[in-house]
Amino acid sequence: MKYSKAVVLSGLFLGLLLMAASSGRAADLPKAKLPVMTTSAGQSQDATTINIVCEEAAIGYDYCDVPTVEILTAGVGLAGKQPAEGFHVEVHTDLAKYPKGTPYKTVIFAIGASLKGMGASGLTVDTEEARLKALVAACKQKKVFLIGVHVGGKSTRGAQGSDNEKMIDAVAPESNFLIVTKESNFDGRFTKISKAKNIPLIEVEFALDLVDIFKKVFQ
pLDDT of residue 28: 76
SS3 (DSSP) at 160: coil
pLDDT of residue 19: 39
pLDDT of residue 205: 95
Which ranges constitute the DSSP H helices of 34-114?
Answer: 46-56, 69-74
pLDDT of residue 128: 93
Contact 212, 32 (CB under 8 A): no
- Displacement of CA 198 from its chain's centroid (Å): 19
Distance CA 80, CA 115 (A): 28
Residue 92 burial by Cβ neighbours in a 10 Å radius (0-12, 13-18, 19+): middle
Query: What is this structure's pTM?
Result: 0.88
**Domain limits of the chain?**
5-14+30-217
Distance CA 101, CA 104 (A): 9
Between helices 189-197 and 163-171, what is the axis angle to 10°? 20
pLDDT of residue 18: 37
With a CB cutoff of 8 Å and minimum separation 6, the contacts of 84 are: none
Residues facing 39 on adjacent strands: 109
Distance CA 93, CA 35 (A): 7
Distance CA 113, CA 162 (A): 9
User: Is CATH 3.30.110 the classification given to domain 5-14+30-217?
Assistant: no
pLDDT of residue 22: 39
- Residue of 36, 9, 29 whose CA lies nearest to 212: 29
pLDDT of residue 150: 97
pLDDT of residue 2: 55
pLDDT of residue 155: 87
With a CB cutoff of 8 Å and minimum separation 6, the contacts of 60 are: 34, 35, 36, 54, 92, 93, 94, 98
Q: What are the per-10-residue average pLDDT scores of the chain (219 residues)?
A: 51 42 55 97 94 97 97 98 95 98 98 91 93 97 98 91 93 98 96 97 95 96
